[in-house]
Structure 1
Amino acid sequence: MTYAPIIKEIGRGAKGARPLDAAAAEAVFADMLDGKVPDLELGAIVMALRIKSEAADELLGFKRALDARTPQVAVLSGPRCVVLPTYNGARRQANLMPLVALLLARKGVPVLIHGRHDFESRTSPFELLAALDIHPVADATAAGAELAAGRIACLKLDTLLPGLDRLLALRLRMGVRGTAHTMAKLVDPCRGRSVRVVAVTHPEYLERMHHFLCADGGHAMLLRGTEGETYANPRRRPEMKVFEDGAARVAWPAEEGGAPPLADLPDCPGVADNAALIRAMLEGRSPVPAPVREQVETLAALAQA
């Protein structure tokens, strides 16, 4: 493939760029995932997409390329598997993503966690998961066995999708995130048997992801994440939308007002304190914040739908 014509289309800035159609987007992202794009052209494509943002057809094309390369994890009959991406880690607040996973597993819902961590200023979610005895497995087959045995499995992205992992690693060289970070939220290792949890940071992405999830189909929850992670802000409930085969509805409206600290929820982003807090909530010694409890209940119901 020659990349100059593509860069010419998408590289004209936020106002002058023209989006790719779905077929062209699928082809170029496939080459990006397969490591076929030379470094110079790859950097140009990454920055052009970042500046102009991804159009709806581009996202669908990128997703098709991603689906074609995503190993599938076996899910037993029964509830769908909730898929929790983790790509940020704790910064100031305790990371309650593992709490969501453990509460769902307690309800009999399988949970697959996938992610990558390369932020020196944040606490690694994989260190937190390890403190709770949740460890990454070697491949998709092992993940299926873990789901069958204990209802929770964890895969690092370099194991699940090495091509996407390489694209995410470009942030360390280029200084900014790119389209690959958006697509990492949409990885579906259990197609047809999943409930994806899609957490976004910027408000404009809520609308973009809404349209994408309606077009892409399947089951999903969309919410504004907490410090980039896939759990509802315990201090103020975000709007939580659920998607079932292209139909969207608001499961929980956003709470109004600010997000003051909670007396029962200390800021403890460190691994030991964060893990101890999650254990206390699981054992009933500390209350589970209402937004997290509502998120878990909604996901459990969606997994049964």
Structure 2
Amino acid sequence: MTDSAAPTFTCARYIKEIGRGPHGARALSHDDAYALYEAMLDGRVPELELGAVLLAYRVKGETSAELAAMLSAAHRSFEPLHVQDGREHARPVSIPSYNGARKTPNLVPLLSLLLAREGVPVLVHGVTDDPGRVTSAEIFTELGIPHAASHDEIEDSLASRRLAFAPITVLAPKLARLLALRRRMGVRNSTHTLVKLLQPFAEPGLRLVNYTHPQYRESLTGLFSEHPDAASGGALLARGTEGEAVADTRRQVQVDWFHAGRAETLISPERSQPDALPVELPEALDAASTARWTESVLRGDVPVPSAVARQVEAIADVVRRPA
């Protein structure tokens, strides 16, 4: 929907560059990518052109430079959060949760609660529902952890319990509007990548960034390596579990830490061992079953999956180092 009070953004020349298909399309300059995405966020692009831009990038893909420009525009579209350091001056952690789970349990709430127990302020942001998937939002509800309804509530929850869940509609409503177009158009768009890259804190905070397809590892590595501002506060990059930024209990994946213009491998990949003991997981994947299992892990009745325990240890170590 276009904001009738704002001037319409003419984008034919941008579509001409990015809309030539996978072999003929050309990347936009940083300034052009920024201007275009800013106009999209502000609702100044007419619906016909907006659909063309979204589909063009769906086919072409974003370069690291285009992602950096779009991310800069995204960050300027919402108010950053102010968060007090946790125990031992632990910097806050941002965990995006936009995919949910359908084949394996969603362990994002467990990861966030384990980090909060270590004194690390943790913001989980994402969608509240996704048909056919179990979202972190639904599990938090079963755990009795409310969804924040305003920026003040996000900051209050981070201060009081070191944990907050923020729907993207609350954290960054302009991004939420573009994200919601998936259901109307039937395919994801650039915003689905950008929300997983957000640095929502005013102070330096660590982000957990995950990818599903190998080509995204290359583009995200390029983003953080070639555009240091995009990695402000630090970012942990790893292959996700069904698109969620929590360790995969079936195998140990590589985890890279991008910070201060350099990359450091914190956890090396390991192949699963055929004689390894089975990991005790929820018997069912629904939100209620996952929540009850999460509570049993927090009580110590069930062991923390080793891959998740290792992830918690790595994150807790990083956020206590100087930014």
Q: CA deviation at 1:187?
A: 1.4
Instruction: Confirm whether residue 30 of structure 1 aligns to residue 38 of structure 2.
Output: yes
* Counterpart selection for 1:299 from 284, 301, 315: 315
Using the aligned pairs only, state the percent identity: 40
| Preserved contact between residue 108 and residue 245 of structure 2 (Cα < 8 Å) | yes
Counterpart for residue 153 of structure 1: 164
Residue-pair matches, total: 305
**Local SS of the residue matching 2:309:** helix
Name the CA distance, whole Å, in 1 between partners of 2:290 and 2:259.
33
The amino acid across from 1:66 in the alignment is A
Instruction: Confirm whether residue 172 of structure 1 aligns to residue 183 of structure 2.
Output: yes
Name the CA distance, whole Å, in 2 between partners of 1:202 and 1:267.
28
Instruction: Confirm whether residue 230 of structure 1 aligns to residue 245 of structure 2.
Output: yes
Structure 2 residue runs without a partner (length 5+): 1-8
Counterpart for residue 269 of structure 1: 285
Name the CA distance, whole Å, in 2 between partners of 1:108 and 1:6.
46
Name the CA distance, whole Å, in 2 between partners of 1:86 and 1:150.
19
Name the CA distance, whole Å, in 2 between partners of 1:91 and 1:106.
27
Name the CA distance, whole Å, in 1 between partners of 2:188 and 2:158.
31
Counterpart for residue 58 of structure 2: 50
| Preserved contact between residue 79 and residue 304 of structure 1 (Cα < 8 Å) | yes
Name the CA distance, whole Å, in 2 between partners of 1:193 and 1:129.
26
The amino acid across from 2:33 in the alignment is A
* Counterpart selection for 1:252 from 251, 261, 267: 267
**Local SS of the residue matching 1:154:** strand
Counterpart for residue 107 of structure 2: 96
**Correspondences of 1:111-122 after superposition (within 5 Å):** 111-122=122-133
Name the CA distance, whole Å, in 2 between partners of 1:21 and 1:237.
38
- Between 210-219 and 269-278, the greater mean CA deviation after superposition: 210-219
TM-score in terms of structure 1 length: 0.96
Q: CA deviation at 1:193?
A: 2.2
* Counterpart selection for 2:15 from 7, 24, 28: 7
Q: CA deviation at 1:90?
A: 1.7
Deviations along 1:248-288, one digit per CA (max 9) or x if unpaired, are 11111112258999352245211111011111111111111
| Preserved contact between residue 89 and residue 117 of structure 1 (Cα < 8 Å) | no
Instruction: Confirm whether residue 279 of structure 1 aligns to residue 290 of structure 2.
Output: no
Structure 1 residue runs without a partner (length 5+): none
The amino acid across from 2:251 in the alignment is R
Q: CA deviation at 1:105?
A: 0.6
Counterpart for residue 210 of structure 1: 221
Name the CA distance, whole Å, in 2 between partners of 1:258 and 1:302.
28
**Local SS of the residue matching 2:215:** helix
Name the CA distance, whole Å, in 1 between partners of 2:64 and 2:100.
28
- Between 266-275 and 277-286, the greater mean CA deviation after superposition: 266-275
Deviations along 1:141-187, one digit per CA (max 9) or x if unpaired, are 22111111110011111111111111111111111111010001011
TM-score in terms of structure 2 length: 0.90
| Preserved contact between residue 75 and residue 193 of structure 1 (Cα < 8 Å) | no
- Between 142-151 and 208-217, the greater mean CA deviation after superposition: 208-217
